Amino acid sequence: MERERKILHIDMDCFYAAIEMRERPELAGRPLAVGGRDRGVLTTCNYEARKFGCHSAMPTYLALRKCPQLVVVPVNSELYRETSQLIRRVFEEFTDLVEPLSLDEAYLDVSHLYSEGGSVAAEVRARIKETTRLTASAGIAPNKFLAKIASDWEKPDGQFEIYQDEVAAFMQELPVEKIWGVGKRTAEKLHRLDLKTCGDLQQRSLVELDQRFGKFGQQLHELCRGIDQRKVNPDRERKSVSNERTFSEDVKNVEQGELRLVDLLDDLEADYEKGHSERHIREGFVKLKFDDFSVTTAQRAMKVVQRDAFFELLLEAWHRGDGKAVRLIGSGVRFVAKEKEGGNDAQMELL
Ligand code: TTP
Ligand code: MG
């Protein structure tokens, strides 16, 4: 019989804001956001600020209107990355099967640990608190999909476990929006078909879902029953590093575009040097989104972040717009794939 899996999803609570509160204790307990002032947006805010209706991606001016006493501090990526490393190391005390999703979030497969999933999660959270003085929330479930949903349930500083024999009942009432891979558009389509919950979806046949949603239909058919076979994949390798910026006002000419690209390339170089310098670059690219939302990407082979080539790529992409103004510029490099490492595959196959 297949061994039941124990998957944890760990997610730090208001991560950037929590770090800022730790660094400046005088701010603790006050509504605090991390983000850009003036025309910027909030990257996140603490739970005090959320009580006023503030949330990540909200324009700062709007957040200040909702909560005039809101303290807004700038983003300090380096500090967050350091903290993220510490958390990563805590995860690795428990298992090699760690799949980071972002700086503050990861899946852990702890099927091989004999303790109850819930107590492993409690221990991981306690170790994180000891190491970083920050709180995390956890979801514990037989698969990734359910673990991620569960980690949101008792946020902040809490955990929630979904046991295998509870899955069927749990799925009945779960809104379709919570299904992994269902974005806004798919959700609308599901609603038009009168499908609001996973229980509703379970009433539809695989054939029908396949006809309506193509390949995704099969996944929907499984996910709405709480079935998710995806493995925790620890060696997912970065394929590229990139950045992009949407401007509050469209950029009208390429000279202005070049000025913006300078900033992006500074950041790109710093990101590469700090986090990925062991990787070999195979090409660089420039991405543009025009004012009609069409997107184009120009790329060229290079081995380092070669600035003059990036400016030529900008020019090339710009001309494709036929005079259209530009609302977003992105820059990035793609890596040569790491050589596949043999040897410990068997150990990673836990399914
Ligand atoms: P989240 O885990 O989405 O948010 P959070 O940790 O701030 O809050 P929660 O308690 O609800 O988990 O994101 C983690 C960090 O990533 C967050 O602190 C800020 C950053 N972030 C961005 O930079 N851009 C974004 O659009 C979002 C959503 C987050
Ligand atoms: Mg978080």
Quick check: CB of 11 below 6 Å from ligand 1? yes
Quick check: CB of 57 below 6 Å from ligand 1? yes
Q: Which pLDDT tens digit goes with each residue over 9-45? A: 999 999 999 999 999 999 989 999 999 887 799 999 9
Q: Do residues 208 and 272 both lie within one domain?
A: no
Distance 18 CA to ligand 2 centre (A): 10
Mean pLDDT over 110-126 rounds to 89
Quick check: CB of 228 below 6 Å from ligand 1? no
Q: What are phi and psi of 3, to 5 degrees?
A: -70, 140
Domain-embedded: residue 267: yes
Q: Domain of 179?
A: 167-223
The amino acid occupying position 238 is R
Asked if the model's pLDDT at residue 98 lies above 50, the reply is: yes
Confidence of residue 235 (pLDDT cuts 50, 70, 90): low
Count of domains forming the chain: 3
In three-state secondary structure terms, 68 is coil
Residue ID of nearest Cα to ligand 1 atom 23: 43
> What was the pLDDT predicted at 345?
39
The more confidently predicted of residues 7 and 37 is: 7
Cα 28 from Cα 1, distance rounded (Å): 50
> What was the pLDDT predicted at 125?
98
Distance 34 CA to ligand 1 centre (A): 10
Q: Do residues 272 and 335 both lie within one domain?
A: yes
Residue 105: active-site member: yes
Distance 149 CA to ligand 1 centre (A): 15
The amino acid occupying position 266 is D
Domain-embedded: residue 320: yes
Mean pLDDT over 254-278 rounds to 91
Mean pLDDT over 45-61 rounds to 97
In this structure, how many other beta carbons lie within 10 angstroms of the beta carbon of residue 280? 12
* Residue in 105, 154, 316, 339 annotated catalytic: 105
> What was the pLDDT predicted at 348?
36
Quick check: CB of 100 below 6 Å from ligand 1? no
Quick check: CB of 131 below 6 Å from ligand 1? no
Residues 283, 285, 289: CA angle, nearest 5 degrees: 165
Confidence of residue 351 (pLDDT cuts 50, 70, 90): very low
Q: Do residues 335 and 288 both lie within one domain?
A: yes
Instruction: Report the CATH number at residue 27.
Output: 3.40.1170.60
Distance 82 CA to ligand 2 centre (A): 16
Cα 227 from Cα 246, distance rounded (Å): 38
Asked if the model's pLDDT at residue 254 lies above 50, the reply is: yes
Residue ID of nearest Cα to ligand 1 atom 8: 14
Taken in order 98, 123, 94, 222, the sign of the CA dihedral is: negative
Q: Do residues 257 and 326 both lie within one domain?
A: yes
Q: Which pLDDT tens digit goes with each residue over 119-168? A: 999 999 999 999 999 999 999 999 999 999 999 999 999 999 999 999 99
> What was the pLDDT predicted at 276?
83
Which among 69, 31, 70 is positioned nearest to 47, based on CA atoms? 31
Mean pLDDT over 194-210 rounds to 96
Mean pLDDT over 206-224 rounds to 95
Asked if the model's pLDDT at residue 350 lies above 80, the reply is: no
> What was the pLDDT predicted at 267?
86
Domain-embedded: residue 42: yes
For the residues of 141-186, what is the DSSP string, one character each? ESSHHHHHHHHTTT-SS-EEE--GGGHHHHHHH-BGGGSTT--HHH
Asked if the model's pLDDT at residue 317 lies above 60, the reply is: yes
Instruction: Report the CATH number at residue 218.
Output: 1.10.150.20
> What was the pLDDT predicted at 3?
57
Starting at the edge strand found earlier in the chain, the sheet holding 326-335 runs 240-251, 326-335, 281-290, 295-301
Q: Of 9, 11, 15, 77, which is best to mutate to test ligand 1, by the most ligand atoms within 8 angstroms of its C-beta?
A: 15
Instruction: Report the CATH number at residue 248.
Output: 3.30.1490.100
Q: Do residues 260 and 216 both lie within one domain?
A: no
Cα 4 from Cα 2, distance rounded (Å): 6
Cα 92 from Cα 217, distance rounded (Å): 36
Kindly tell me the burial class for residue 307, based on how many C-beta atoms sit within 10 Å of its own C-beta (0-12, 13-18, 19 or more).
middle
* Both tokens assigned to 87: 């958390």
> What was the pLDDT predicted at 226?
97
Residue ID of nearest Cα to ligand 1 atom 11: 14
Environment of ion ligand 2 (residues, CB < 5 A): 11-12, 15, 104
Confidence of residue 340 (pLDDT cuts 50, 70, 90): very low
Euclidean distance between the first and final Cα of the chain, in Å? 11
Distance 55 CA to ligand 1 centre (A): 9
Q: Report the nearest atom of ligand 1 relative to the CA of 17.
A: 18
Domain-embedded: residue 275: yes
Is 243 within 8 Å of 332 (Cβ atoms)?
yes
Asked if the model's pLDDT at residue 114 lies above 60, the reply is: yes
> What was the pLDDT predicted at 38?
75
In this structure, how many other beta carbons lie within 10 angstroms of the beta carbon of residue 127? 17
Asked if the model's pLDDT at residue 70 lies above 50, the reply is: yes
Quick check: CB of 43 below 6 Å from ligand 1? yes
